[in-house]
Structures are given as C-alpha cells and as structure tokens.
Amino acid sequence: MARAVSTQHKTIATAAAWIVALLIFFPILYTIITSFKSEQEAIQGFNLFPSGTTESYTAVEAQSGYFKFFLNSVFLSVGSTILALLVAIPAAWSMAFSPGKWTKDILMWMLSTKMMPAVAVLFPIYLIFRDTGLLDSRIGLMIMLMLINLPIVVWMLYTYFREIPGEILEAARMDGASLWNEIVYVLTPMAVPGIASTMLLNIILAWNEAFWTIRLTTTEAAPLTAFISSFSSPQGLFWAKLSAASTLAIAPILIMGWFSQKQLVRGLTFGAVK
C-alpha cells in the first residue's frame, strides 16, 4: 500500500490541502496579526506583517476590563460543566449498566429537549430570571448553561459508559464490593477518560454559547460572548483593539479544541460517528 503512493501525488495533495486549510484559517490568522498592529496600521490596507506592538492588548484591558469578562467565561463554562457532570454521571451510569424498559425513550426524550429553539422560551425564562433576581447573576446563568448542555453530557457519558464491560462490575459485586466501592474503585478509573472528554467538549460549548449569555446578562455576569457583542456598536469600533479582544476571547478555547477533535466528533454526533 505504501508503495502505491507516488511522491507526485503526495506533493499535489499536500499543496492543495495546505492552500485550502490556510484559506479557511485565514480570518483567524488575520485577526491575530491585526491584533499586533497599531490602530493606524490596521486601517492602512492589507498587510500581513504587523509592527508587533501590544498596545491594543493593554488598551482592551484598560478600557473595558477584559479580565472580568474572561473570569466570568471561565467560571460559567467550568462551573456549568461540573454541575452538569454531577447530575449526569449517576443518570448515565444507571442507564448504561441497568437499562430498563424506558432507558432508550428517556435518552431520546433528553435529546429532543436539545432541539427546542431557545427563542421559544426566551420571554418566560427572562421573566423567571427577572422575578427571582437571577438576571445578570453568575449562578443563574451557570444553571442555564448546565441545563442546555445536560442532554449532551448525559449522552456522551452514556456512550462512554456503555463501552465499559459490565462483567467487571459484576465481578466486583460478586466479590462483595458495595455500590459505593464499585463506583469509586472500579467504575471511576475506567470512566475517567470518558468523563474528561465530556468535560472538555462541554467547556467549549458553554464558552461559546451565544444566546443566553448575551440576553440574560448586562454587566456583572457578562462573559466574553457578551463583551464581544458589545463591540459591534459603531462608536466602539477600532480594528486593532477588536482583533486583540477577539484573539483573547478565542485563544484558550481554540487550544483546548485542538486537543479534543476526536471527542468533539463523538460528542456532537451523540455517539453515531466515532
């Protein structure tokens, strides 16, 4: 097989793939480049070589307190993911290891909640949040993000747990392991990789969620999605600063994303494509 590939074929494929890949990546690349330009440079036409100034970065922090939004994003995405895992792990565990008549229906139903358009419940949620004082609160938004991603978390965990051989659990049970011991010493070590993947993907999803995070926050709880959206107003628009803010907003998750490609496929297709 290895023989069959000619160098010429490989060269052409390499060239074509790299050109396409760079074109697709270009908007991100150009944003990163522009973030190292001064505002003057940024509007002087196409230029791939910035002067390397970091003034935009300091300006973004000084003018808008970027760091606060960043912390909110971290808190919301990590917090909502942990919360979702706490609720989902027992559910997925019981579905995978003692499935009942209804397990499949429950899973399908959970998936169906994901298909409900957010706008359909925008106003009721808005009212509930307003009347309970949860509007613009980190806790409220964290719960919201947890609920949105819960079906995916349950599903992902379920597909991972299902691959753990049930015999091992049974053997442990035969040997007199209590349920607690079964979970802590037998299941957890085997399930950790799956839980970690689930966590990674859901942090990414929560980080990028851009409907509720924009609509349910104003200042205090606003994460980066809301912060960036506020840049769309014309008076606040400066190319280099916009680029710096954008770069900061996507950098952490971009890097996490690169490490989670495989899990991404699995998680987002609900285990249908591996």
Site for other proteins in 187-246 (CB under 8 A): 204, 207-208, 210-211, 214-215, 224-225, 228-229, 231-232, 237, 239, 242-243, 246
Among 51, 67, 90, 163, binds other proteins (CB under 8 A): 90
Site for other proteins in 35-74 (CB under 8 A): 42-43, 45-46
Nearer to other proteins, 122 or 164 (CB): 122
Q: Does 152 bind other proteins (CB under 8 A)?
A: no
Nearer to other proteins, 141 or 150 (CB): 150
Among 74, 78, 82, 87, binds other proteins (CB under 8 A): 87
Among 71, 127, 168, 171, binds other proteins (CB under 8 A): 127
- CA distance linking residue 200 with residue 178, whole number of Å: 30
Nearer to other proteins, 102 or 185 (CB): 102
Residue 28 identity: I
- CA distance linking residue 117 with residue 123, whole number of Å: 12
- Stretch near other proteins under the rule CB under 8 A, chosen from 53-61, 63-71, 98-106, 131-139: 98-106
DSSP codes joined into one string, 172-213: HHHTT--HHHIIIIIIHHHHHHHHHHHHHHHHHHHHH--SHH
Q: Does 75 bind other proteins (CB under 8 A)?
A: no
- CA distance linking residue 214 with residue 27, whole number of Å: 23
- CA distance linking residue 229 with residue 245, whole number of Å: 11
Residues with Cβ < 8 Å from 142, sequence gap 6 or more?
Answer: 75, 76, 79, 80, 83
